[in-house]
A = this chain, B = another copy of it.
């Protein structure tokens, strides 16, 4: 089927936050990200644009437009689109009535970098968790870069956004996650020894620029750094928290 001009200009608009909001759609590029989308949320897919070669790699649900490689490169946000680009509805947030199933919640506060955001999604999924919470002021979870970095893990996770940390905490409490731990490079309990770190808690990781917003009544947790080198990348901090949880779970099984 021919790709219409309208579809082309729609795709282009989805590389801006404004365009995504207006259309309620996002663009998912690359074989692995598109593969994750097709497998986990085929009902969201509106149409797919792919080269002949890439179209043969995946089972593509719904409308498919085969285009030459040059055309795809012209449309895609990256030179490494791997020959495929899917347009999909932005998944709705889980219904407020639906309580999270995870033992603890990972939350990010004002995280601005889409690569970090995507890496956190991907790592969360590898650790076997299902939810990622975030405050507004963080990057758009459905931007093209965030989806590429996450290899489409967004479509396998439940993402919930909140106006600020206060609102996030209130929601967590309502679901039975009463304790909040803020990551802090300067003090607090060590993530390797805090006994209750993962017990019905929310672990909050701050953004690259400003760290975590202060929040009265929250506990502080730190990642010990023998190198006396203050800042770990936010995605690295998230990875340490997630796999310390995996380690503890393994050792008690």
Contacts and interface: CB of A to CB of B under 8 A. Distances in A.
Contacts of A231: 126
A129 interface: yes
Given A233-B122, A235-B236, A244-B247, A225 B127 contact: yes
Interface string A216-238: 00000001111111011101100
A122 B230 CA distance: 10
A67 interface: no
B232 A122 contact: yes
Contacts of A115: 115
A223 B236 contact: no
A125 B143 CA distance: 31
A126 B227 contact: yes
The number of times this chain is found in the oligomer is 2
Interface residues of A, number: 35
Nearest to A227: B128
Contacts of A235: 119, 235-236
Given A223-B243, A224-B250, A250-B224, A229 B126 contact: yes
Contact of A224 (B233, B240, B246): B246
Nearest to A116: B119
Contacts of A174: none
Contact of A243 (B119, B126, B228, B240): B240
Contacts of A229: 122, 125-126, 153
Contacts of A128: 225-228
Name the residue in A227, A247, A251 with the highest tally of chain B Cβ atoms < 10 Å from its Cβ.
A227
Name the residue in A123, A126, A233 with the highest tally of chain B Cβ atoms < 10 Å from its Cβ.
A126
Contacts of A223: 243
Contact of A236 (B226, B236, B250): B236
A64 to B, nearest CB: 26
Given A123-B232, A125-B227, 11 more contacts: A122-B232, A122-B236, A125-B229, A126-B231, A126-B236, A128-B226, A192-B246, A192-B247, A193-B250, A226-B246, A244-B247
17 contacts: A119-B235, A122-B233, A123-B232, A125-B229, A126-B236, A127-B226, A128-B227, A128-B228, A192-B250, A224-B246, A225-B246, A235-B235, A235-B236, A243-B243, A243-B244, A244-B247, A247-B247
